[in-house]
Amino acid sequence: MTDKMAVVCNGDTPANIMPTLIFGASGVTLGNEVHIFICPAGARWMLKGELENLGTPKGLPNPVQLFNDILDQGGEIVLCELALENKGIDPKDLRDERILIKKAPPYLMDIDGAGLTFTF
């Protein structure tokens, strides 16, 4: 049985994005239906070059690989629509065209019934 898994990133430090990506990649690897929501505070991580600038933190997996694994294995990464104006983001500057832009209510409808929820 596939469980829905919701992961929210609400910060712009490595301590926010790394567990978001690690839990997300772990979830899809285990066959969960993974839905990641990036709040405006964490939006910079969805821009081209930002995960690369982070590099691979000591003792942790590579964040670019984790990001790609999530999307390649069918996970969903959503950037909050509010981040566009709040952070002055142009969608063409997003690191991957598979990043969805949604408001919170549709995301909440997507994760209805999620058995696992995490916020970082």
With tokens 């964490």, the residue in question is: 42
Which CATH number covers residue 74?
3.40.1260.10
| Residue 85 within a domain | yes
**What single letter denotes the amino acid at residue 117?**
T
Q: Give me the pLDDT at residue 107, please.
A: 98
Count how many domains the chain has.
1
Q: What's the pLDDT tens digit per position in 39-81?
A: 999 999 999 999 999 999 999 999 999 999 999 999 999 999 9
Is 55 a domain residue?
A: yes
pTM above 0.75, yes or no: yes
Q: Is residue 74 part of a domain?
A: yes
Query: Is residue 118 one of the residues assigned to a domain?
Result: no
Please indicate, yes or no, if residue 23 is contained in any of the structural domains.
Answer: yes
When the pLDDT of each residue in the chain is averaged and rounded to a whole number, the result is 97
Considering the domain boundaries, does residue 120 fall inside one? no
Range of the domain at 85: 4-113
